[in-house]
Structure formats: C-alpha cells, structure tokens
Amino acid sequence: MISYVSFNVYDKNIVLQKKFIELFTNITVNNDTQLSEDYVRNYFNASNDNVGAHWLRIIKHYLSIPLDNGYGSHQPVLLAASILTGRHGGPILEMGCGYYSTLLLHEIAVKQQNRYLLSSDTDREWLGKFEANMSSSMHQFRHINNESEWDTININHPRWSMILIDHKPGERRTTDIIRLVNVTDVIIVHDTETATYYYEEGLSLYPYRYHYTYLGTATDIASKSNGTLIQNIRYLLELIVSLKVPRLKSI
C-alpha cells in the first residue's frame, strides 16, 4: 500500500505520510475542525507541511466536494479569508446574498467565530429567505431599495475586516470597489472572469491582489495595505489547486 502523497507548491516538493491521508478522509467533528482552524490561523507558515492537512479538514467540513464550479466558485476564497482574518474577529459586509456565500459566512463567521455580519441585497424577497432563519444581533440584514443606498451600506462600521462584492446592478460593483478601498482589510470580488463590469478600474487601486481561477467562475481577492494576508490566502487557495481537490465539471 502506498502511504505517501506528493504535491508541489511554490516549486517545493512536499511529501506527507499516511497521517495526512487519514486526516483528509476521516469524518470530522466540530472539535477537530476548531483545532484545525486555530492551527491554520495561529501557526500559519508556508513552510509548515501541517497547514495543508488542517486546511483540507476545514474544506471538508464547510464545503461540498466536488467544489462548485459556478455560482459557488467564491466559496474557497471566502473560507480562506474568514479563517485567516478570524484572529481579530472583525466585521464582515456581504454585498449580494446567496446560498453559497450567506450560509457559509453565517456558519463560520457568526456561529463559529462570533463575528458581526451584515448581509445586503436589492431583492427583498430573496433577502427574506435568509433573514427569516438567520437574523440576530450578530447577523443583520439590509434591503437596498434603490441603487443610491449602496452609498451608505458601510456607515455603521468605520472599517470592515472583509467585504464581498457580488451585488446588483453589476455595473455598480466597480463604483463600490473604488469607494471602499480605504475601509476594508480585504475585498473579495466574484465573477471577475468577465470584462463587462470594468473591474480593473477599481481593483487597480489595490496593490495586493490574487486572481483565483481554479473554478470556472473567477474570484479576485485584494487589499490596499495587507500584502502578507493576501499572500497567505493565496497559499491556501493554491493548495487546493496543487492537491487537485475535486471540482464539478463546467457546464
């Protein structure tokens, strides 16, 4: 029996023993997942082989495998960013709700990390599907009645740990990417494989960026000030690529 698995990250060959394989294949429980989250967050180091094993345990706990290749392609980015920003427990702003983002952020950020989450959307009925089951002092919801209300969505917090850009109208997204550059540690932008929304006009203001394309619909993650955080998120995301975590076929 082969008890080793090899993969390559940043031109470094990493060989992990049977312990690694068991960590990925065994069914996890909440305590195990919490241990892994703490390990990745507190002892993160690109030269530490154990990070990959703990990261896979987290993925298996929170995400469906094969990974979604379309509407949910930003889930690994949200997960990595949530884990690595969880140490300080800063607030999260979700601009545009969805089954793949709202449920995940509620589970990990609100329930697991006890962080404040504001979810917002232009569709009142759609927003209500989530608000009915998740609303609390730590997870609030806001309906955006007209486009100009996006201008004030962030005023209840002077700074956000994470902001997700996935809202309507799509043409509004670049405006908000530019507007929010100085009030977030990390911004995550979904659907960046298309040039329709001229994302580059906004993302060019962020010196530290990563364009994630392992899944069919691309996602960008960027920061104006924290290059180390973007580098570490990139490392976790490229582990997914190197380990060839299964993904759904593109339609």
pLDDT tens readout for residues 37-73: 989 988 876 566 788 889 999 999 999 999 998 899 9
Instruction: Please report the pLDDT score of residue 164 as a whole number.
Output: 97
Class of domain 75-229: alpha beta
- Per-residue pLDDT reduced to its tens digit, 81-125: 999 999 778 999 999 999 999 999 999 999 999 999 999 999 999
Task: Enumerate the domain spans of the chain.
Answer: 5-62, 75-229
Instruction: Please report the pLDDT score of residue 194 as a whole number.
Output: 79
pLDDT of 134 higher than 50: yes
pLDDT of 196 higher than 90: no
Instruction: Please report the pLDDT score of residue 89 as a whole number.
Output: 82
Determine contact, residues 115/86, Cβ cutoff 8 Å.
yes
Going by pLDDT thresholds of 50, 70 and 90, the confidence category of residue 24 is low
How far does Cα 76 stand from its chain's mean position? 5
Cα distances (Å, whole numbers) of residue 94 to 28, 157, 165, 180, 214:
28, 13, 7, 13, 23
| Contacts of 216 by beta carbon, 8 Å cutoff, 6+ apart | 69, 70, 73, 250
Q: Which DSSP symbol is given to 234?
A: H
Going by pLDDT thresholds of 50, 70 and 90, the confidence category of residue 216 is confident
Question: Which is higher by pLDDT, 22 or 45?
Answer: 45
| Contacts of 159 by beta carbon, 8 Å cutoff, 6+ apart | 90, 183, 184, 185
Instruction: Please report the pLDDT score of residue 15 as a whole number.
Output: 41
Residues in a beta bridge with 189: 165, 220
**Residues 183, 140, 215, 81: is their CA dihedral positive or negative?**
positive
What is the percent of the chain where pLDDT is above 70? 85
**Residues 232, 238, 242, 245: is their CA dihedral positive or negative?**
positive
Nearest CA among 11, 1, 7 for reference residue 51: 7
Nearest CA among 201, 200, 166, 160 for reference residue 182: 160
75-85 and 227-242 are packed helices; what angle lies between their axes, rounded to 10 degrees? Answer: 130
Which pair of tokens denotes residue 114?
A: 């006890």
Determine contact, residues 155/175, Cβ cutoff 8 Å.
no
Cα distances (Å, whole numbers) of residue 76 to 35, 72, 95, 138, 139:
19, 9, 17, 23, 21
Mean pLDDT rounded to a whole number for the chain? 86
Cα-based angle 65, 66, 72 (whole degrees, multiple of 5): 90
